[in-house]
Structure 1
Amino acid sequence: MHMGWLLVLICCFCLLFFMPSSCPLDAIPLHQTLRDGDTSVLSNGQFELGFFNFSSRRYLGIWYKSMAKGTIIWVANRNTPLNNSLGTLKLTTQGNLLLLNSSDIPIWASYNDTARNPLAQLLGTGNLVIREANDEDPDHYLWQSFDHPGNTFMPTMKYGTNLDTDLNRYLTSWKSDDDPSEGAYINKLDPSGFPQMFLGKDNQIVYRSGPWNGERFSGMINLKPNPIYSYEFVNDGKEIYYRYDLQNSLMLSRMVLHTNGDLERLTWTGGDGPSSWTLYLKGQMDDCDKFSRCGPFAKCNTMNSQACCCLHGFEPKDEPAWNRGNWSGGCVRRHKLDCGSDGFQRVSRLKLPDTRKAWYDGSLSLKECKKKCSENCSCVAYANSDVRNGGSGCLMWFGDLSDIREYAATGQDLYLRTSVSDLTKDQNPRWPIKILVPVLAIGVALLVLSIVLHTKFRNKAKIKGIMPQLRGEEPMKETEENDLELPMFSFEAIVNATNNFSRENKLGCGGFGLVYKGILKDGEEVAVKRLSKNSRQGVDEFKNEISCMAKLQHRNLVKLLGCCIKGEERMLIYEFMPNRSLDSFIFARGLAYLHHDSRLRIIHRDIKAANILLDQDLNPKISDFGMAKIFGGEETEANTTRVVGTYGYMAPEYAVDGLFSPKTDVFSFGVLVLEIVSGTKNRGFNHPDHDHNLLGHQNRISQIPLEQHRLTEVANKNFLPLNNPKAWRLYKEGRLLELLDPIGNESCVLPELIRSIHIGLLCVQQSPEDRPSMSMVALLLGSSTELPEPKQRGFFTPTKFWLGDALREILDESANQITITGLDGR
């Protein structure tokens, strides 16, 4: 009897040992197996390891267990799938994990042979490790899946290279969404020269992150302190890697290299709607992120009408090709270098050039770096390798400088070796942003208020006499009755002032044409806007700008000094603004004078940071009235089928219905206020899965019938999504501090900034009737008056307008009347 019970117990024990376990385990001890089956998984915390199916093929992998259930983060046999559900995972005596097919043939292995008493364990981070059973030290792991990532970069993972073992951890895309085998794209750290990340496709570089500058990779301006994750970059002579940790253990975030080459950070969001992965930031954002788009010794800036331009002292290598928009040939020096007399020109706000052939020494100061570069005739440029605490370290380049881009208000300084004949006074001062941000933000009240109080109006210019010339009639004589008090400059005087419109005098370009710096005979510095024959604007805008500016005199408007007309030449001469446009530093400024205190009501229709210029004392002045509309009498609004302006700043009723009023400019001003405090543009990059921008605007194009998409595409571009916290959502949740630009947080007056955000949200409300007037905005900014609650922010929503006659009229051949500018610098 006792022997019978003993046999039963032995049989039960054997059955329990060899049958697949239905209880989740977190480890596989020596000689135990994990067999393919729905209940045969390792489980720990948020993750599970087991077998799954894709297109009738079986894989061993790791996925999220509860939240984001089923999202796969790693696949073992991605290139060698199983043909059936008879696969087995076992741990060998040598410490190898072997994946066997139905014929017990290994199709994947972890390859390790140093174990004594190995154990395979799935950690709570999603990392599958092989370790000694009695040793949990991460530095002693025999093998880990985090050293062999697929398309996903997880928290706590080291992303980079071990210089002692030559192990390089990098991402490879999947071939397709249901095929995890290696795809065309690879993203990895290159340790040569000064380390940086590269995205490649078919052995060709697609995108470069730029070198680590102590705060971030210089080409990833969105990588900055945030409430979701912290990060670090380690370069200690033994290892070079980047890693990140989540700030909240309940939050899910991962970086994924998609099948199309997009490198994106995704976060898991829930809230009132269904939970899903949403875009938080993106590696490559626009065309200027395409590797070496502009060729050697050129810089790329998407805010310019022509994205590429040569560095100072250089000119296009192939001028005809360059003018056709083929910039790949880059630029060459205008004058030869003379090592004994060369100097260095500072070029600011850059993504630093490719550093694979660069040299660096973290112990040198910038002054020592300059000396070292000066002494080496092969050194073409130098910069700080670390921007923290005022800058330190030395980074030097030899040979061609490639893949440079220019930013509006961030980036680094590069010191470019320049021939003595090309050396000029530094026109790129690096203003102390930490001081400028709060001063401008808090000073909005005083600046706008000054516009309201300054009601003096002087109409010196009689513009009637200029119209015959604009129509191509006989030149006007100085003795005519309709002589202009607005001075007429001779064409020869402007040619001399601008050195025959030389490239060195070029300040920038926009929809009007090129803008040049000029010096008149009396030494006065001026800015000359020269209407281009190929300009998006034309004679009408030229007349409109003269008409507006001749009637407006205000200290916060750029002063029009005169004009020049000869043949087909049309030029406007303005006072020179030495500190460029406001978007070069940060975003801001006002309109009350134009709407309320000028004798004529003026709607600007293109208020943006690039059209606010700064004089030598950083006083802001509104410019570019080529698109402005003059209202007379009691006229307060108008409708047009010719929508003009800039994406990201247009009010929804204007972008969609063509209806504009003073409240249209109020909306643009509200965008600027929110851009001030966040240090981020409302308009950034476009992605089909991310539907919010800075204001919280949503892309609703998928809800619109197909026949309406043509015009919708134009209007909807006003509301491009942006990698930035949403102002409306943060306001509703009482978390406005998260919107503030961390660069200026140390020295700002928080109540003033919070009030500015509140007023900005009032300005961008959906309905024009709900928005305050500019005079009311000035009052609110300059007082402690209690603020009303803003209503829902404006966003594009299809209305019955699309079904009316206006739709058919605009979608007809008149569609080419739509004129919308990019974010051009002036």
Structure 2
Amino acid sequence: MGTLPFMLFSLKFLLFSIQISSETDIITQFHSLHDGSTLTNGAFELGFFSPGSSTNRYVGIWFKNVPIKTVVWVANRNHPIQDKSGTLSISKEGNIVLQSKNGTNHWSTNITTKVSTSNLVAGLLGSGNFVLTDEKDNRDSGFYLWQSFDYPTDTILPGMKFGWNLTSRFNRRLTAWNNWDDPSSGQITYGFIKSDLPESKIQNGSSVIYRSGPFNGLRFGATQKLKHVPLFIVDFVYKTDEYYFHYQPKDPSLLSRIVINQTVSALQRFIWVEENQKWILYLNVPRDECDNYNRCSSFGICAMIGKSSMCECLSGFTPKSPQNWSVKDWSQGCMRNENWRCREKNKDGFIKFQNVKVPDTKKSWISKSMTLETCKVKCWENCSCTAYANSNITGNGSGCIIWFSDLLDMRQLPDSGQDLYVRSSAIETTNRDDSRKRMVVVTSTTCSIIVILFLFIIVFCWRRKAKSKFRETKLKESKSEQEDLELPFFDFGAIKFATNDFSNNNKLGEGGFGPVYKGMLSDGHEIAVKRLSHSSAQGIEEFKNEVLFCSKLQHRNLVKVLGFCIEEQEKLLIYEYMLNKSLDLFLFDSSRSKFLDWSQRFAIICGISRGLIYLHQDSRLRVIHRDLKASNILLDADMSPKIADFGLARMCGDDQIQGNTSRVVGTYGYMAPEYAIDGIFSIKSDVYSFGILLLEIISGKKNKGLSHSNRNYNLISQAWRLWTECTL
């Protein structure tokens, strides 16, 4: 990076604070910047660059500490300089200008406000915003005469307002680069349309690629409800003089950007992963085939079936070309079964469609004060009206949207969307109502039968679980500290991102309670994530039980649990990552077992015994593991053993050496006979399991996989036979 010994001509080089959104941002200021020099502030850098293989020179802003040069803003994107003679400076008229050596202007801020140039300061904020301000009058106001955040190129940065300022007529929208070597304005754009009901669009020239749907008071129409806590705080501000979108990462250290990509014609959100030294794609819009604009054409509605899209005509409509429709050519759309008779009583009506992305509002009329009933009447009285809906779905709904002509770009959104009322003939409406009535009768009858069966099941289960619930209640009363799990709570979105959405490529294995995945947190820390399957026998109590024990127990031969996550149906345990996975992968594999010499096996045995002694004697809780086996012994990078999986563990008092259970759980082959037969467990149960494990480590054979002289043995029988024959 170049230094700046010549950057200050008439202005002093100062650092001062400017308030932005209640946070202090420092401006690194300058008066003149030459090609070869850069201006640095926080995570960003401003200077001259040449993209890809191009020799053209541009002034831009990029991430400072990212080795892959990632440009987020370009000043002279459509007017490059052909050599390295460029100078960026404040002109006597009070503008920031970019000139080449012959005095040609290649870019300017073009502000017309008359100010004293002696007080002007230009510089770079830590947020990546390049600003021009009056140092004397606006030092602490956060007001800028000009700022790059008002003129984005292809990237949205955290804190940037993206949308319309109706007073200043700023339309902050994105325009993609032409290609990787050319930052000039391409054909792909993304921005908000200027409307009483804001919505955003991705376009290729004049052709629409994606439409977000109008803002309905909660979200944009095509936006689906999130099933997990996201990594970002996203907000849409909708006021009389402006409407805009902006976002901030929950973790301020997280580097992120939203960019419109010319190559794939999509809006993409990227996150920088320091450990991998690369940008990871976090979100892509359009998300799926149904997000593609007007997928099903007029009066057609799109639904995702797995990863494929499927189009259907709305009720009361049929395909214009049934032959094309049958081969999934939906371009001609749908038409009415029969025309309605406008404003004739009992001749036309409306069919309600739930959870849909409403049609394109290009040919629509909007009232923010009208009730839904008045909206219906107004639509019915206009022969050109094809549908109506609320403009705001918060509370009981308010406002009115009325559509004219064909309904375009609709999709089904099972867990979001809103109600849409489509005009249809009275016959279609009656048929649909009759169908609904039949459905209600069938549903009511079915539900009654299910309720009766359910009551029988409840009574049966209640008797079985009465004793179990009583014991659990007593345990909770005596151990109220269970509620204080003493472990960090992890964000589900962060874990989902860390495991690449629980990709099979990251899957380490699968036990009786669910799969385990390898992951990497944003700070580069490797983790193992145990994800309980929804059908797992391990419920919330077993899960909390494991979290409780892992928060209380600390020993070098017990696996370390970093935290947990409970969200809706998801239950996750986050462990330290064990490089060599589990002991059974070495013991029972002919090639890997060669790495376990006798000294290594002895060290593993000693480590397991130390962990077991800690559980039984030295910890502040007396713990019986109840599921000690080779797959529950994990090995770190140094092959040191660590006991894992405390989901079935039980806690005993200091004077209690055994317990009893009616629910025998664990792994057959490792269970002590008195536990497997009578449900009696004690520290001796673990010692028995340890003995089986000891024989497996010594022999390298599974307890139930031994064959000798055409007779089947387990390891205990084999050991006893050798003992009695005096060969052991």
User: What TM-score results when the alignment is normalised by the length of structure 2?
Assistant: 0.58
Question: Judging changes above 3 Å, is the alpha-carbon distance between structure 1 residues 27 and 691 closer, same or farther for their aligned structure 2 residues?
Answer: closer
**Residues of 2 paired with 1:730 and 1:71: CA distance?**
35
- Tell me the equivalent position of 1:106: 105
1:546-588 CA-to-partner distances (Å, cap 9, x unmatched) read xxxxxxxxxxxxxxxxxxxxxxxxxxxxxx9759xxxxxxxxx
Q: What secondary structure is seen at the aligned counterpart in 2 of 1:211?
A: coil
Q: Which amino acid aligns with 2:366?
A: Y
- 1:394 corresponds, among 393, 400, 404, to 400
- 1:639-689 deviation line (CA, Å, top 9, x unaligned): xxxxxxxxxxxxxxxxxxxxxxxxxxxxxxxxxxxxxxx999x99xxxxxx
Give CA deviations for 1:339-377 in whole Å, capped at 9, x if unaligned.
333222111121111112222233334334333333433
Q: Name the counterpart of 1:218.
A: 221
Amino acid at match of 2:563: G
User: In the superposition, relative to structure 1, how do residues 784 and 222 fare at CA in structure 2: closer, same or farther (>3 Å)?
Assistant: farther
Matched with 1:47 is 44
1:318 counterpart (316, 321, 338): 321
Q: Look up the equivalent residue of 2:96 and give its one-letter code.
A: L
**What are the within-5 Å matches in structure 2 for residues 500-649 of structure 1?**
616=447
Task: Compute the displacement of 1:89 (Å).
Answer: 0.1
**2:563 aligned with 1:734:** yes
Match of 2:265 in 1: 261
SS across alignment from 1:734: strand
Matching residue of 1:373: 379
- Helix, strand or coil at the partner of 2:89: strand
Q: Is the 8 A contact 2:391 2:398 kept in 1?
A: yes
* Secondary structure of 2:73's aligned partner: strand
Counterpart AA for 2:278: S
Q: Is 1:78 aligned to residue 80 of structure 2?
A: no
Q: Which residue of 2 aligns with 1:352?
A: 358
C-alpha distance in structure 2 between counterparts of 1:787 and 1:49, whole Å: 63
Do the aligned partners of 1:195 and 1:355 also contact (CA within 8 Å) in 2?
A: no
Aligned with 1:244: secondary structure? Answer: strand
Higher strand share: 2
Structure 2 CA distance for aligned equivalents of residues 302 and 264 of structure 1? 21
Describe the shift of the 1:372–1:42 C-alpha distance in structure 2 as closer, same or farther (beyond 3 A): same
Gaps of 5+ in 2: 16-25, 452-490, 508-516, 520-526, 533-560, 574-580, 585-628, 633-646, 648-660, 668-728
Q: Which residue in 2 is equivalent to 1:90? A: 89
- Structure 1, unpaired ranges of 5+: 1-13, 428-503, 506-516, 527-575, 580-613, 621-677, 684-689, 702-718, 741-752, 759-764, 772-776, 778-782, 790-826
Partner letter of residue 401 of structure 2? L
Q: Aligned partners of 1:280, 1:115: CA distance in 2, in Å?
A: 44
Alignment of 1:613-762 (within 5 A): 616=447, 694=501, 696-699=502-505, 728=529, 734-737=563-566, 739-740=567-568, 753=569
In structure 2, relative to structure 1, the CA distance for the partners of 1:214 and 1:306 (3 Å cut) is closer
Alpha-carbon deviation of 1:28?
Answer: 4.2
Spell out, residue by residue over 1:259-304, the C-alpha distance to the aligned partner (whole angstroms, 9 max, x if none): 221211122234xx42432222222112211111111111011218
Aligned to 2:121, the other structure's residue is in SS state strand
- Counterpart of 2:426 in structure 1 is 420
2:289, 2:309 within 8 Å by CA — same for their partners in 1? Answer: no
Give the Cα separation in 1 of the matches to 2:353 and 2:203: 28
Per the alignment, residue 707 of structure 2 pairs with: none
1:514-545 deviations in whole A, cap 9, x for unaligned? Answer: xxx9x9xxxx989xxxxxxxxxxxxxxxxxxx
Which amino acid in the other structure matches residue 65 of structure 1?
K
Which has the bigger relative contact order, CA under 8 A and spacing at least 6?
Answer: 1
Alpha-carbon spacing, 1:250–1:352, altered in 2? closer, same or farther (3 Å): same
2:130 to 123, 128, 131: 128
Structure 1 residue 735: deviation in Å? 4.3
For 1:697, the aligned partner's letter is S
User: 1:20·1:34 contact (CA, 8 Å) conserved in 2?
Assistant: no
Using the alignment, how far apart are the partners of 2:337 and 2:402 within structure 1?
22
Amino acid across the alignment from 1:379 = C
Q: Which amino acid aligns with 1:281?
A: L
Distance, in Å, in 2 between the alignment partners of 1:255 and 1:787 is: 50
CA–CA distance in structure 1, aligned partners of residues 107 and 7 of structure 2: 28
The residue type paired with residue 191 of structure 1 is K
Q: Secondary structure at the match of 1:82?
A: coil
Aligned length: 479
Asked whether the 8 Å contact 1:350–1:410 carries over to 2, the reply is yes
Matched, 1:246 2:249: yes
SS of 1:356's equivalent in the other structure is helix
- Cα distance change on mapping 1:94 and 1:619 into 2, 3 Å: farther
Q: SS in structure 1 opposite 2:47? A: strand
Of the three residues 145, 168, 176, the one matched with 1:173 is: 176
Letter in 2 for 1:361: S
CA 1:162–1:185: 2 relative to 1, 3 Å = same
Please, which of 301, 304, 308 is the counterpart of residue 303 of structure 2?
301
1:206 to 195, 209, 220: 209
* Distance in 1, Cα, partners of 2:169 & 2:417: 32
The answer to whether the 8 A contact 1:63-1:72 is kept is yes
The residue that corresponds to 1:780 in the other structure is none
- Aligned ranges 1:800-815 → 2 under 5 Å: none
Q: 1:369 to 1:266 in 2, by over 3 A?
A: same
Secondary structure of 1:322's aligned partner: helix
Return the alpha-carbon distance in structure 1 between the equivalents of residues 153 and 200 of structure 2.
Answer: 16
Q: 1:98 deviation in Å?
A: 0.8
Letter in 2 for 1:124: G
CA distance in 1, matches of 2:443, 2:225: 29
User: By how many angstroms is 1:201 displaced?
Assistant: 0.9
1:349·1:407 contact (CA, 8 Å) conserved in 2?
Answer: yes
Aligned residues of 2:14 and 2:28 also touching (Cα < 8 A): no
Q: Displacement, 1:699?
A: 4.9
In structure 2, how many angstroms separate the alpha carbons of the residues matched to 1:356 and 1:784? 67
Cα 1:16/1:296, change in 2 over 3 Å: closer
One-letter amino acid of the structure 2 residue matched with residue 328 of structure 1:
S
Alpha-carbon displacement from aligned partner over 1:139-162 (angstroms, at most 9, x marks no partner): 742211111111101122121122
Change (3 A) 1:105 1:352: same
For the residue of structure 2 that corresponds to 1:217, the secondary structure is coil
Contact (CA 8 Å) 2:210, 2:286: kept in 1 or not?
Answer: yes
Aligned partners of 2:369, 2:183: CA distance in 1, in Å? 45
How many angstroms apart in 1 are the aligned matches of 2:182 and 2:41? 26
**Structure 2 residue 186 is the aligned partner of structure 1 residue 183:** yes
Aligned equivalents of 1:729 and 1:132: distance in 2? 56
The structure-2 alpha-carbon separation of the partners of 1:323 and 1:151, relative to structure 1 and needing over 3 Å to count, comes to same
Letter in 1 for 2:402: M
Q: 1:419 to 1:426 in 2, by over 3 A?
A: closer
Cα contact 1:60–1:77 (8 A) shared by 2: yes
CA distance in 2, matches of 1:617, 1:72: 63
Query: Is the contact between residue 87 and residue 98 of structure 2 (CA under 8 Å) also seen in structure 1?
Result: yes
One-letter code aligned to 1:119: V
CA distance in 1, matches of 2:177, 2:662: 56
Contact 2:98 2:105 in 1 (8 A): yes
Alpha carbon RMSD of aligned pairs, Å? Answer: 4.5
Structure 1 position 425, deviation (Å): 7.0
Residue 351 and residue 577 in structure 1: after superposition, are their counterparts in 2 closer, same or farther (change >3 A)?
farther
Contact 2:197 2:214 in 1 (8 A): yes
CA drift of 1:16 comes to 8.8
- Name the counterpart of 2:59: 60
Q: In structure 2, what is the Cα distance between the partners aligned to 1:223 and 1:191?
A: 27
Counterpart in the other structure of 1:339: 342
Deviation at 1:241, TM superposition (A): 1.8
- 1:219 is displaced (CA, Å) by 0.8
Secondary structure at the counterpart of residue 423 of structure 1 = helix
Larger Rg belongs to: 2
How much does 1:323 deviate? 2.2
Question: What's the CA shift for 1:106?
Answer: 1.0
Q: 1:283–1:615: structure 2 CA closer, same or farther, 3 Å change rule?
A: farther
Whole-angstrom CA distance in 2 between matches of 1:679 and 1:99: 47
